[in-house]
Structure formats: structure tokens, C-alpha cells
Amino acid sequence: MTPPATAPAGAALSPTDYLKQVLTARVYDVAIESDLDAARSLSRRLHNKVALKREDQQPVFSFKLRGAYNKMAHLTPEQLQKGVICASAGNHAQGVALGAHKLGTRAVIVMPTTTPQVKVDAVRALGGEVVLAGDSYSDAYEHALALQAEQGLSFVHPFDDPLVIAGQGTIGMEILRQHKGPLHAVFVPIGGGGLISGVGACIKALRPEIKVIGVQMRDSDAMVQSVTHGRHVQLADVGLFADGTAVKRVGDETLRLAASVVDEFITVDTDAVCAAIKDVFIDTRGIVEPSGAMAVAALKQYVATHKTRGESYVAVLSGANMNFDRLRFVAERAEVGEEREALFAVTLPEARGSFRRFLEVIGSLPGGARNVTEFNYRISDAAQAHVFIGLTTAARGESPRIAAHFERHDLKTVDLTHDELAKEHVRHMVGGRSSLAQHERLLRFVFPERPGALLKFLSLMRPSWNISLFHYRNQGADYGRILVGLQVPASDDAAFQRFLAELGYPWVEETDNPAYRLFLQR
């Protein structure tokens, strides 16, 4: 199906032409001039001055209402009377819905079925008529074109329209006005390319010495591939973690502009984006969506690659429409993304005292001991124990050195820090039934998160008792919740009660728990 005509007739617009459109864009009926905030913590860590363009502050928590409203404000009264339609993963949809409400016109919004519910609810709350269709923006777009033809609606493209591009370009104008002193680079996330086309055209028309750096997810890099090949490259599939930029095919006009105004492209992965979401939170106490944090992830990657110091950068935080449930995943992956945590599979002798000796090996790591962030183990073999362990790290790239240290102490080790299966699934699956777990008692403990808490537990245990299961994950609180299986003969019950009393940690026995009996007890 052929897209609706969006590019102007005649010669293609130059950055200077776009600058004129930016200067006359109608965005401030609905949008605000968002803050340009100094990221002080991130700046100190990177030894460069970092500022964040806070498009998460917009009324719909995204930059998208700028371009959407600018397009709609230029429609004729007759067009507005019939109504408008768009396809969007959510943020553009909210901009169209808000703009339509402001202009008193009907808005039909076609959204992928994968859109987070928070965005669907937000569009409906603004008066938009939501139609769910397809798994990605491109699928929803095709359905929107069909509805447009059927109902005579005006199509408001999320990125491939000069008026939309000019509306987004007002962000570039604001950055140049707000930023005092030299500016070396502006980092901009890319989905279909409307944001970087507008921002890039504005910046290059006024300050061509400033680098414009485009950012895409590695699994949604249609713009990078298209510019590299000099033609449109349509992706067969896109990753959905950063759903706001999950576009299979970029626009005709945005590809033309990006190829001329973008100095460099950077692709980032999911873990790096999770770490960037945390970085933004630390500096702003705000939570941006994955697409909104991509620019920060790329900025960090750029500094690490080019070893820069003392330069000034701006990262555009494009939106904050985060599905709350996704925060669980983000928090889990942020430490690995920043490489503040390393994950390993370590093989120990299945013998009493091995656990304690392993902790001593951890304590002897060069540069000092590391905190244990995770420890998962289930007895399964009479000779060997396989443990899944997470450790804090002092610097990037440290996990191979830690693995080598374990190997020098005759501990077979596999570095899982960058293993997607391990991070996504295996860490939650260590366990199961075991025929070796005789006389097992299952207890939930609350350990204080301080050095020596685990060592105290091991020191007070009788040497004849064996740990048959151990599950722990640091949750960032002052106390850690730990599940422990202990093989304690019935004849030792009195001694076991004395052990628990002397230990002094809160505990609950779960030996009769039905979930334990179904999934862990043989």
C-alpha cells in the first residue's frame, strides 16, 4: 500500500528551509519549553559536562506532541471537521489525541497490540479512539492507511512529514538557546527519524560545528542500515523493549535528512539502556522509558570509545511513558548493563566447608573483596556443586579477571555476565527436586545486608549439617531475603533451635509449604 503524500512538491527542503519552518512552528499551544538539566552525577563519572533535555516533562510525557500539533494546526477547517488518524506505538498517539482535543476534532489512533497498557489508557483518557492492530508500528501503519481511505480522515504521520519534522526541530532550537558555552555533541534517539531530522536540521543550520549523533537499538536499527546502504532497508522484525523506537522502515524524508545532518550513529543494547534509565533516575529522580534513555546510553558509550574529557554533551530524553511492570526487568538488568555486577557459574566440590572456602576466595580477589549480589544453588550431584553467583565489580571489563582468579584457585568457572539465557532465565531456574536432599528443612531468613552476615551464619552451623539449597538476590534494601535448605537430622532438632536463637536473624520455616513440596521436594 502506498503511503500518503507527505513531502512538499518541488525541491527538497534544506536545513535552512527547515530552520524557517522551525521558527514558525505552532507547538507552544500544547507543548512547553522543556528544561535542560545538568546531570551532575553522570558528569562527574564521565569527566565531561552532560545535560539532559527533559522532553519527559511534556504534558503527554514525550516530545511527540510538538510535531503532531504542528501538523494538525496547519490543516484546513474542512479537514479538521472530518477528523484525523495516525498510527503510533503510543507517544505520537498521545500527542495527536491531545492536539485533536485542543483543536476540537476527532482522532482515530491505530496502535500495535504490543503497546504498553499505560499508553493505551493515556490515549483514551485524552479522547482518542483506539484501534489495536499488528505487532509493530509498521503493521499498525498499514491498517491506519486503510481506515484513512475508508473514512476520509487526514493522516498525521509520526515522523515522515515536513511539518512534523519542523515541530520536533523546536527541541534543537531550545537546546541552542538554553545551553551556554561550547557544545560538542547532541545525542538523539531514532525510531522513524522525525526527531533527529528536525533537531539535526536546526542545529546544522545554526551551529554546524556541533556533532549530531543518532542512536538506535541494535535490534531496531533500520535507520543505521538504510544510511549505510544508501537506500531503504526494511527490517523483518524489531525488538520491542524500546517500543517507542521499534520501527521496521524509516521515512523517505527522514532518511534523506538523517543522511545529511547526522555525523555519527551509535547502536546500544538492552542492558546499556537499563543502566541509562538508572543514571537518569539518580540525577533527576525521574523514570524515563527505554527509548527515552537511549541517548544517555549512547553518550556513555561514546565517551568510553573516544576517551573524551572536559567536553559538553546534551542527551535528549525523548519520553517517560514507562509501563510500571517493566521496572522489574530494568532494575534486574541495570547493574549488568553498567557492568557494576558480574555473573558466574562456579563448580565447587560437593563437600562440607566448600561454601565457606569459596567465600574466602572471593575475599582474596585483587583490589579487595566484592559483595555477593546473588547466590543460587541446589544440591544435585554427590561430587560437584554448581553455583550461580553475582558479584559487584569495581570497573568495566572486570569479570574475566575475576573468573581467572577463581580458576587459579582450582574452581572451574564460566563467565555469564554477557550470557542472555543466563540473565533472562537460568538465574531464576536453579533448583528443583533432588534425591540427595535427605532430612532437608527449608527456611526463609532475613539477613542484614552487611559484611560478615553470611559468614556468621556459616560459622554457627554445625559441621555435620549440610546446605542443600541456597537462593539469594540483593534487592537494594537494608535486609536480604534468603531461602536456605539445611540437612538436619531429627535428632539434632534441639541443637538446631539453639543455632537459630544464637543467629538472631528473623526466620520462617517452610518445610511444609505446598509450593516447596510440589516443586523442590522429592
From residue 52, alpha-carbon distances to 192, 294, 304, 490 in Å are 22, 12, 19, 62
Question: How far, in whole angstroms, is CA 173 from its chain's centroid?
Answer: 27
Single-letter residue type at 88: S
Q: Is 318 a catalytic residue?
A: yes
**Residue 344 contacts residue 389 (beta carbons within 8 Å):** yes
- In whole angstroms, give the CA distance from residue 60 to residue 290: 16
Q: Pick the catalytic residue: 49, 53, 62, 64?
A: 64
- Please count the other Cβ atoms lying within 10 Å of the Cβ belonging to residue 102: 15
Q: How many helices (H) and strands (E) does the chain have?
A: 20, 18
The C-alpha angle with vertex 404 and arms to 399 and 408, in degrees rounded to 5, equals 150
CA angle 337, 342, 348 (to 5 degrees): 155
Written as nine digits, the cell of 391 is 558479584
Distances (CA, A) of 182 to 176, 179, 313, 396: 10, 8, 9, 29
- Kindly name the residue from 136, 318, 399, 434 that is annotated as catalytic: 318
Question: What's the CA gap between 159 and 125, in Å, rounded?
Answer: 23
What are the phi and psi torsion angles at 187 (to 5°)? -105, 130
Q: Select from 159, 143, 109, 164 the least CA-distant residue to 1.
A: 143
In sequence order, what are the beta bridge partners of 392?
Answer: 341
Tell me the C-alpha distance between 377 and 345, whole Å: 10
Cβ atoms within 10 A of the Cβ of 127, count? 13
Catalytic residues: 64, 318
